[in-house]
Amino acid sequence: MNRIATLIKQDLLLSWRNGLVISTAVLLVIMGACIYLLPESFDVETAEFVYDASSDKAYETFLRQNGLSNANFVESEDELVAVLNDANQGFGVIYEGPVDDPRITLLTVGNLAEENINVALATLDYSAAVMQGKTLPDQYQIRLLRPPSEPVPVNLNFIPIAIVFEVVLLGFMFGAVMIFEEKQEGINRALRVSPMSTMDYIWSKNILFLAMGLIYGGVLIFLALQFRADYGRILLLIALTTSMMTFVGLGIAVFFNNISEWFFIGVGVLIVFNLPVISYALPTFMPGWITWIPSFPILFGVREILFPTGQTGFYLPLVVQLVIYNLIAFGFGYLAVDRKLMKAG
Amino acid sequence: MSLIEVKNLYHDYEGQGEYAVNDVSFAIKKGEIFGFLGPSGAGKSTVQNIMTGLLKLQQGQILFKGESVTDLKSKFFNQIGVSFEHPNLYSKLTGFENLKYYGGLFQVPTEDPQKLLEMVGLQGAMHKRASDYSKGMKQRLVFARALINNPEILFLDEPTSGLDPNLASTIKDIIRRKQEEGATIFLSTHNMYIADELCDRVAFINEGVIMALDTPRNLKLQHGQKSVQVEYQENGHVQAEVFSLEKEADRIRFNNLVNTKHLQTVHSQEATLEQTFIKVTGRGLS
């Protein structure tokens, strides 16, 4: 234990002097700044204008009764086109003809999503039917299986990504950087003729990066959510992720002599581990293979803990999965470090 | 009893049957300075690396106090100190930190880093980073690091390489002092002077084979000439002659010269260790 403590102190000092601690702190400051500088939501104003060209202005009357104000109405088609052209994004409605046989035209400007246009068309159909006195059957109903969750504020939505991928980077890359420096300096030969064991070597680095990962993650979560987060569960996930990536990072790095040789393999692994970000940003993109990447369940697990949607029963299987990954990563890391670093001629 | 014994050691780097070390055997007594003398590539570093566990033991035996070093592991490493020819240090740590953290790896009482740095003349640079050290300073720091655990056996690979004569003399004094304190020293070098000066016994290694093993004095006597070279003044010119001490006629002529001429220099002609090495191995040390 004394040897591991010595190695941790030494690695901490080297991390500081190599700028690894500073770069982690700078990243933390940037992420913290994002929390306070980004808005909680991006409100894109969608302009809505109506020109009722009918003689009795029945549609305008109907809409006024349902909450629209003077600002939503124009007096001519030319005026409607003009106000829409002035807006970045929006739609306009031209209502013509009698109530029992109306002609409705929808005008759009900007990048309106198809879903929004469909909703607008459905609303127009519905309002026309209501004006005609038709009673629509209750064909659709909504049942909530669990209470609706609060939408995640925009400025906090990136927090799971910032946590998981910085922790992945920390364990995977920083360990490699330290190994390359030691190889360059030939220090391993001196370590190998000391009583230090492979286990001491691996665990000292692991514990250091684990501590850095926990501090980074803990502080970032505190900046984002203060006391509203379940720190125990989230920190356990961070610890298991950092540990796994440190073992993998050390195990891969020993096969290379410097960062140039390591670059393509190392960056390749990092890119693969970052792919689940695509599914996080675009939930419709979730092919089966992406869910097999170990960072996938971690990323969504972290999000569920930080911003619960009511899912239950996911945590324990995730922890068990990560413990298994850690055992495999440790076996790989230990054998690689022992054979390639500690016993190589 | 021998402190360390090497028995029938072989090493083949490529596994092609070309041995870098070929049936090497020797034993080092406790408190002895044992020199391993040979040119670059002769196999001396290979032997030292196998003895210290840096290279895998392929064939043969290395016994430390009668036990195989492969079974001793950390017990063995707690009792050895290794100084490398090429300095290998944490360049971003200071001299003091390099020693302090390295000392923390041992389970035996360790020396005060400051004291060691003073011993090798680095007290003024102890808080400088190793990257700012000159080659000679790094060499001394590596040497000091080898002493941190008060080792029973010191493996020194070219410990005075790159040092000026004053510093080399300091290192030699420390080696002698360590011997007086009871340490055993295994010294790999191609420097015949340091070997001659320090070693109780030396082994000549060439192409992986030990060619001779004895005290430097015996080796020189066995392979040198028993003769005297004399320079004297005659008719305004300096004359030089060599007299064999084993030939009666030469001895009479030499005595005659001593009694009748004005001698300027007299040199005994025993071989240097380097000449002995060349004679034994057929090649030079450099």
Instruction: Report d(CA A163, CA A160) in Å as an integer.
Output: 5
What global pTM score does this model have? 0.83
Of A98, A131, A164, the one marking the end of a domain is A131
Average pLDDT for A324-338: 97
Q: pLDDT, tens digit, for every residue of A59-87?
A: 999 999 888 888 899 999 999 999 998 88
Instruction: Report d(CA A8, CA A16) in Å as an integer.
Output: 12
Q: Which two tokens stand for residue B29?
A: 């007594």
Examine residue A66 and state whether it is found in any structural domain, yes or no.
yes
Structure confidence at residue B210 as a pLDDT band (50, 70, 90)? very high
Instruction: Report d(CA B66, CA B148) in Å as an integer.
Output: 25
* Partner-chain contact B90 A192, CB within 8 Å: no
Q: pLDDT, tens digit, for every residue of B96-145?
A: 999 999 999 999 999 999 999 999 999 999 999 999 999 999 999 999 99
Q: What is the mean pLDDT of chain B?
A: 91
Query: Is the pLDDT assigned to residue A100 strictly greater than 70?
Result: yes
Inter-residue contact B202 to B233 (CB < 8 Å)? no
Residue B209, classified by CB atoms within 10 Å of its CB into exposed (0-12), middle (13-18) or buried (19+), is middle
* Residue A25 exposure: Cα atoms within 13 Å on the Cβ side: 6
Average pLDDT for A157-182: 91
**B14 lies within 8 A of chain A by CB:** no
Give A344's contacts in chain B (Cβ within 8 Å): none
Q: pLDDT, tens digit, for every residue of A231-241?
A: 999 999 999 99
Between the alpha carbon of residue B52 and those of residues A177, B77, B226, the distances in Å are 28, 8, 40
Q: Which residues contact A64 (CB under 8 A, 6 or more apart)?
A: none
A237 and A214 housed in the same domain: yes
* Partner-chain contact B74 A345, CB within 8 Å: no
DSSP letter (8 states) at residue A73: B
Inter-residue contact A180 to A257 (CB < 8 Å)? yes
A6 and A99 housed in the same domain: no
Q: Which of A160-169, A290-299, B10-19 ranks highest by mean pLDDT?
A: A290-299
A167 and A287 housed in the same domain: yes
Cβ atoms within 10 Å of A37's Cβ, excluding its own: 9
Query: Is the pLDDT assigned to residue A144 strictly greater than 90?
Result: no
Examine residue A139 and state whether it is found in any structural domain, yes or no.
no
A123 and A262 housed in the same domain: no
Residue in this structure with the two tokens 């991928």, named with its chain if needed: A165
* Partner-chain contact B90 A10, CB within 8 Å: yes
A63 and A170 housed in the same domain: no
The helix (run of H) or strand (run of E) holding residue B140 is helix B135-146
A317 SS3 class: helix
* Partner-chain contact A190 B106, CB within 8 Å: no
Q: For residue B105, give the nearest of A6, A182, A189 by CB distance.
A: A6
Q: Please tell me the total count of domains within chain A.
A: 2
Query: Is the pLDDT assigned to residue A345 strictly greater than 70?
Result: no
Q: Which of B226, B184, B187 is nearest to B203 (CA)?
A: B187
Examine residue A143 and state whether it is found in any structural domain, yes or no.
no
Nearest CA to CA, how far is A247 from chain B (Å)? Answer: 22
A283 and A237 housed in the same domain: yes
A191 and A297 housed in the same domain: yes
Q: Which of B67, B96, B154 is nearest to A193 (CA)?
A: B154
A73 and A170 housed in the same domain: no
Of A131, A163, A197, the one marking the end of a domain is A131
Between the alpha carbon of residue A303 and those of residues A85, A146, A299, A315, B91, the distances in Å are 40, 18, 6, 12, 42
A18 and A119 housed in the same domain: no
According to DSSP, the β-strands at B2-11 and B184-189 are unpaired
Q: Which residues contact A263 (CB under 8 A, 6 or more apart)?
A: none
**B243 lies within 8 A of chain A by CB:** no
Distance of CA B88 to the CA centre of its chain: 20
Instruction: Report d(CA A322, CA A271) in Å as an integer.
Output: 20
A226 and A328 housed in the same domain: yes
Of A131, A160, A190, the one marking the end of a domain is A131
Examine residue A51 and state whether it is found in any structural domain, yes or no.
yes
Examine residue A147 and state whether it is found in any structural domain, yes or no.
no
Which residues is B83 bridged to in the sheet? Answer: B156
Examine residue A82 and state whether it is found in any structural domain, yes or no.
yes
A252 and A104 housed in the same domain: no
Instruction: Report d(CA B77, CA B107) in Å as an integer.
Output: 10
Examine residue A142 and state whether it is found in any structural domain, yes or no.
no
Instruction: Report d(CA B266, CA B275) in Å as an integer.
Output: 20
Expressed as residue numbers, the domain containing A109 is 47-131
Q: pLDDT, tens digit, for every residue of B217-253?
A: 999 888 877 788 899 888 888 888 888 888 889 889 8
**B80 lies within 8 A of chain A by CB:** yes
A201 and A276 housed in the same domain: yes
Inter-residue contact B21 to B11 (CB < 8 Å)? yes
Average pLDDT for A165-175: 88
Q: In what order do the strands lie in the sheet with B67-68?
A: B21-29, B2-11, B59-64, B67-68
pLDDT of residue B285: 61
